[in-house]
Amino acid sequence: MNSLRIEEHPVLSFERGEKITFFFNGREIDAYPNETIAAALHASGVRKLGESPVLHRPRGLFCAIGNCSSCFMIVDNQPNMRVCVMKVKSGMHVEEQKGKGELELIVEN
Amino acid sequence: MLINDGIPTKEDIVKVTPSDERFAEGPVVIVECFQEIPCDPCVKACKRGAITMSGDINALPVVDYTLCNGCGNCISLCPGLAIFVVDKTYSDDFALVKLPYEYVPVPQAGQRVMALSRAGEELGCYEVVRVTTGGKKNMTYTISLAVPQEVVMEVREVRYTRNGS
Amino acid sequence: MIKNVEIMVIGGGPAGLCAALSASDLGVGISAPDLGVGISAPDLGVGISAPDLGVGVLLVERDDVAGGQLVKQTHKFFGSEKQYAGDRGIHIGQMLVEKAQADSNIEIWTDSTVLGIYEDGVVTVLHEDKHIKVKPERIIIATGAAEKFLAFPGNDLPGIYGAGAVQTLMNVAGVKPAERVLMVGAGNIGLIVSYQLKQAGIDVVAVIEGQPKIGGYLVHASKIRRAGIPVLTRHTILEAYGNGRVEGALITEIDESWLPIPGTERKIVCDTICLAVGLSPLTELAWQAGCEMGFIRELSGHVPIFDENLETTCPGIYCAGDVCGIEEASSAMVEGRLAGINAAASLGYGVSEAEKFRKDAMIELEELRSGDMGGHIRVGLEKMYARCKK
């Protein structure tokens, strides 16, 4: 999988730290701390992040600055997470979001 | 045309080409900057004051070829990577072209690389004579390539891959 | 509880960072001469009881690091020495962030999103998962811009990215987002990102551009052309195809009325299509704050109406950078500096130096915009000032 990571660059050097893992649709995937969920998924060749609400067309990343909503995924049961800006964490469960996310109603006491 | 495809035309190049007499004297700079953009680091880059601009920072750079000694200090300092040095006195058959390089891997002196034209066409494999680094912050390399005299005004890029280009 | 600040800068990109630094340079936060007077500045409303001791400049950034889009600009900047010409964008970004971090007059909140600007001058921020109210004397909106989209069949396939998104994956995360790219748009972003893709070892099949001329700097175009990337003007994309992801694109030549020329269609095999078709100012906060807005095409769309001091029609709210007209980062830095100077001066800081600093910045901006490439900005600003005087 490391072939999708840039190892040699004329201007940049990447200090990635210790490898961690998280889950994408139940599958364990490698990642590095400090990178976004979208970056980690792309490094593993995953580009389809969800499906559109009506026609169920595949959805991918577009802006990568947290602005456009194209990258909404379900992260640890929370829908509508902008994975282009959200950092990956060890053990996290990330799932494709099919359509509009449904918020869990949290009722306190 | 340059404005349509990014390739400077013969007419463009003529405007920035020194005289044959100047070429006969030794290495000299070719500043392939044809558009007025707000940019002036080349002026400060030349310690000999050979590059000047009249008016504001949008003006095109003007070279005084009598002051230029072809040192090539300006090559890695041009943000547009548009400055080259040509030395037609290198040998009878070969001339030297110095050009900026910002890719990996970086070739070493003695290795052969593919010379490319302004349009990216392959002009043949030639030997790298010298590689200088722009330094930690600048990070642009300057590559000196020995090429046949007849193509020295065509070669403006090199391609180098580890498994031979 | 309300946090009192003298100047709140929204957005930590080149404009926002320079705004914060120039305001601090003029003494915002140091002297806090007459805290009481400052804090109840009448033009942003009153009604705050017993203000706590505030900070000078609060810089709020949505991302987890400040620097804005500078963090991925690996190329050397143009301009003059005053705008750090010749330095790479990433290094300029690092330098500005370090300066701001070391500045005790500036407090930086990252991972923080401004939610709204209210009539009484209170700004709400989502900061460290808390909803926080801030009461600034002055606000500088430097929220930047977002990439435009393009309409064509198949444009929703995974593998169609904004050029900036590809830059983020590649230059921030160090991930190769593609193997073969079709770049749409030969403005500076399209040209520069094509070069950067090549530097990361990724093939760029072609750069296509609908206009008859290359819009970006020709030195960028020449640089990628000689590396073997064709730049095709008067070409557009007809559709993207692929099963669940981009597998290619159909492109065509277009005539003077932008209509496809029959028989010139061509299939391009690629796994990624990058859109570099311009930016739109991120003006939500300006709209929401009630700033008068105007559509000025040359400034890239709806922008807040502002005067020569970069002050919007809401007294005390300034704007700088791409949010008030898309330009190069060098101009954004100088505009930010100018907004910071003006905001600070309006609070009574730097009485002796402000005028000189302001003039210097204005001269720099004029210089950056005076060439061929600044033509549309000059027209845009003329329209802006004409509207502003009404």
Q: Which of residues 47-106 of B touch A (CB under 8 A)?
A: 102-106
Evaluate if residue A3 carries a pLDDT over 80: no
Nearest neighbour of C86 by CB, restricted to B3, B7, B41: B41
For residue C249, the Cα-to-chain-centroid distance in whole angstroms is 30
Q: What is the pLDDT of residue B111?
A: 97
> Does B100 fall in a domain?
yes
Per residue in A31-57, pLDDT (tens digit) is 999 999 999 999 999 999 999 999 999
Name the superfamily (CATH) of residues C149-275: FAD/NAD(P)-binding domain (3.50.50.60)
Q: What is the pLDDT of residue C209?
A: 98
Q: Which of A11-25, B3-17, C28-42, C123-137 has the lowest mean pLDDT?
A: C28-42
**CA-based max dimension of chain B:** 49
Contact C86/B34, CB-based, under 8 Å?
no
C contacts of B80 (beta carbons < 8 Å): 78, 217, 219-220, 223
Which tops the pLDDT comparison, B16 or C388?
B16
Per residue in C58-95, pLDDT (tens digit) is 999 999 999 999 999 999 999 999 999 999 999 999 99
Mean pLDDT value of segment C350-363: 95
Q: Report the 3 state secondary structure along chain C.
A: CEEEEEEEEECCCHHHHHHHHHHHHCCCCCCCCCHHHHHCCHHHCCCCCCCCCCEEEEEECCCCCCCHHHHHCCCECCECHHHCCCCEHHHHHHHHHHHHHHCCCEEEECCCEEEEECCCCCEEEEECCEEEEEEEEEEEECCCEEECCCCCCCCCCCCEEEHHHHHHHHHHCCECCCCEEEEECCCHHHHHHHHHHHHCCCEEEEEEECCCCCCCCHHHHHHHHHCCCCEEECEEEEEEECCCCCCEEEEEEECCCCCECCCCCEEEECCEEEECCCEEECCHHHHHHCCCEEEEHHHCEEEECECCCCEECCCCEEECHHHHCCCCHHHHHHHHHHHHHHHHHHCCCCCCCHHHHHHHHHHHHHHHHCCHHHHHHHHHHHHHHHHHHC
Q: Which of C35-44, C286-295, C380-389 has the lowest mean pLDDT?
A: C35-44
Evaluate if residue C232 carries a pLDDT over 90: yes
Q: Which residues of C307-343 are buried (b: 16+ CB within 10 A; e: fewer)?
A: eeebbbbbebbbbbbbbbbbbbbbbbbbbbbbbbbbb
Evaluate if residue C302 carries a pLDDT over 60: yes
Band of residue C15 on the pLDDT scale cut at 50, 70, 90: very high
Amino acid residing at A42: H
Q: What is the pLDDT of residue C388?
A: 87
Contact C222/B6, CB-based, under 8 Å?
yes
Evaluate if residue C165 carries a pLDDT over 90: yes
Q: What is the pLDDT of residue C2?
A: 92
Contact A60/C245, CB-based, under 8 Å?
yes
Q: Which of residues 50-79 of C touch B (CB under 8 A)?
A: 75-79
User: Does the CB of C86 have a partner CB in chain B at under 8 Å?
Assistant: yes
> Does B6 fall in a domain?
yes
Nearest neighbour of C158 by CB, restricted to A47, A85, A87: A47
Supply the angle between the helices C89-102 and C329-346 in degrees, to the nearest 10.
20
Per residue in C32-51, pLDDT (tens digit) is 544 444 443 334 344 443 34
B14: containing domain: 2-159
Contact C282/A48, CB-based, under 8 Å?
no
Quote the minimal CA–CA distance from B1 to chain C in Å.
10
A contacts of C199 (beta carbons < 8 Å): 9-11
Q: Which of residues 111-140 of B touch C (CB under 8 A)?
A: 116-120, 137, 139-140
**Residues whose CB is less than 8 angstroms from the CB of residue C51 and which lie 6 or more positions away in sequence, other chains included:** C2, C4, C35, C36, C39, C40, C135
Interface test with chain C among B3, B4, B74, B139, by most C beta carbons within 10 Å: B4
Mean pLDDT value of segment B71-91: 98
Evaluate if residue C254 carries a pLDDT over 80: yes
Mean pLDDT value of segment C184-211: 98
Closest-CA residue of B relative to C219 is B80
User: Does the CB of C221 have a partner CB in chain B at under 8 Å?
Assistant: yes
Q: How far apart are CA C315 and CA C37, in angstroms?
A: 17
Contact A42/C157, CB-based, under 8 Å?
no
Q: What is the pLDDT of residue C29?
A: 86
A contacts of C147 (beta carbons < 8 Å): 62-63
Contact C174/A5, CB-based, under 8 Å?
yes
Amino acid residing at C208: I
Q: What is the pLDDT of residue C60?
A: 98
Quote ipTM for the complex: 0.97
Nearest neighbour of B6 by CB, restricted to C79, C218, C373: C218
Q: Are C29 and C56 within 8 A, CB to CB?
A: yes
> At the topology level of CATH, where does A18-98 sit?
Ubiquitin-like (UB roll) (3.10.20)
> Does B164 fall in a domain?
no
A contacts of B139 (beta carbons < 8 Å): 10-11
**Residue B62: both structure tokens together:** 């003007």
Contact C218/B7, CB-based, under 8 Å?
no
DSSP secondary structure letter of residue A61: -
C contacts of B35 (beta carbons < 8 Å): 217-219, 372-373
Band of residue C55 on the pLDDT scale cut at 50, 70, 90: confident
Q: What is the pLDDT of residue C53?
A: 53
Contact A64/C200, CB-based, under 8 Å?
no
Average pLDDT score, chain B: 96
C2-146+279-389 with C149-275: one CATH topology?
A: yes
**What top-level class would CATH report for the domain C2-146+279-389?**
alpha beta
C contacts of A42 (beta carbons < 8 Å): 169, 173, 175, 177
| Dihedral (Cα; C338, C341, C345, C351), 10-degree rounding | -110
Quote the minimal CA–CA distance from B155 to chain C in Å.
9
Contact B157/C219, CB-based, under 8 Å?
no
Quote the minimal CA–CA distance from B97 to chain A in Å.
21
**Residue C294: both structure tokens together:** 């105007």
Nearest neighbour of C146 by CB, restricted to A11, A36, A67: A67
**Residues whose CB is less than 8 angstroms from the CB of residue B5 and which lie 6 or more positions away in sequence, other chains included:** C214, C221, C225, C230, C231, C232, C233
What's the total number of domains in chain B?
A: 1
Per residue in B21-48, pLDDT (tens digit) is 999 999 999 999 999 999 999 999 999 9
In chain A, domain spans: 18-98
Q: How far apart are CA C31 and CA C158, in angstroms?
A: 53
Q: How far apart are CA A102 and CA A104, in angstroms?
A: 6
Q: How far apart are CA C211 and CA C232, in angstroms?
A: 10
Closest-CA residue of B relative to C370 is B58
Per residue in A51-108, pLDDT (tens digit) is 999 999 999 999 999 999 999 999 999 999 999 999 999 999 999 999 898 887 777 7
User: Does the CB of B135 have a partner CB in chain A at under 8 Å?
Assistant: no
Backbone phi and psi for residue B151, each to the nearest 5 degrees, phi listed first? -110, 5
**Residue C309: both structure tokens together:** 């001091």
Closest-CA residue of A relative to B137 is A11
In chain C, domain spans: 2-146+279-389, 149-275
Touching chains, B (3+ CB pairs < 8 A): A, C
Q: Are B65 and B13 within 8 A, CB to CB?
A: no
Q: What is the pLDDT of residue C51?
A: 43
User: Does the CB of B7 have a partner CB in chain A at under 8 Å?
Assistant: no
Contact B105/A8, CB-based, under 8 Å?
yes
Contact A67/C282, CB-based, under 8 Å?
yes
Contact C158/A57, CB-based, under 8 Å?
no
Q: How far apart are CA B8 and CA B107, in angstroms?
A: 26
Contact B37/C219, CB-based, under 8 Å?
yes
Amino acid residing at B97: V
User: Does the CB of A12 have a partner CB in chain C at under 8 Å?
Assistant: yes
Q: What is the pLDDT of residue C110?
A: 96
Q: What is the pLDDT of residue A109?
A: 63
| Dihedral (Cα; C195, C200, C203, C204), 10-degree rounding | -30
Mean pLDDT value of segment B102-117: 97
Burial class (CB in 10 A: 0-12, 13-18, 19+), B24: exposed
Contact C174/A4, CB-based, under 8 Å?
no
Q: Which of residues 18-47 of A touch B (CB under 8 A)?
A: none
Q: What is the pLDDT of residue B113?
A: 97
Q: What is the pLDDT of residue B164?
A: 57
Contact A65/C165, CB-based, under 8 Å?
yes
Q: Are C184 and C246 within 8 A, CB to CB?
A: no
